[in-house]
Amino acid sequence: MVLHFLIQGRVQGVGFRWYVQREAGQLGLRGWVSNTEEGEVEVVASGSPDELAKLRASLRRGPRGARVDHLVEHYLDDSEAEELSSFRIDGAW
């Protein structure tokens, strides 16, 4: 199963991408996390429904200092998972 998340709120400049990478890595998910130019955080993750539900809960919580106002999600075609490797941060220095 592959899910795409868009997290809105105070989610940039608070360590959100590193938080997501840690949470997703502990769950054994594949995918990536990135900041958007609009000030949101975007996540694509592949894993079991249970693992993705745990990630969803973590995204709603966020790291200390973050404020999640809105979480948008939708399913991607399973073929999208073929391109994914171990969970990484896209666009980090």
- The conformational region for residue 43 under phi > 0 = left, psi -120 to 50 = alpha, else beta, is beta
Rounded Cα–Cα distance for residues 16 and 11 (Å): 6
In terms of C-beta density within 10 A (0-12 exposed, 13-18 middle, 19 or more buried), how is residue 22 classed? middle
CA-based end-to-end distance of the chain: 29
Active site residues: 17, 35
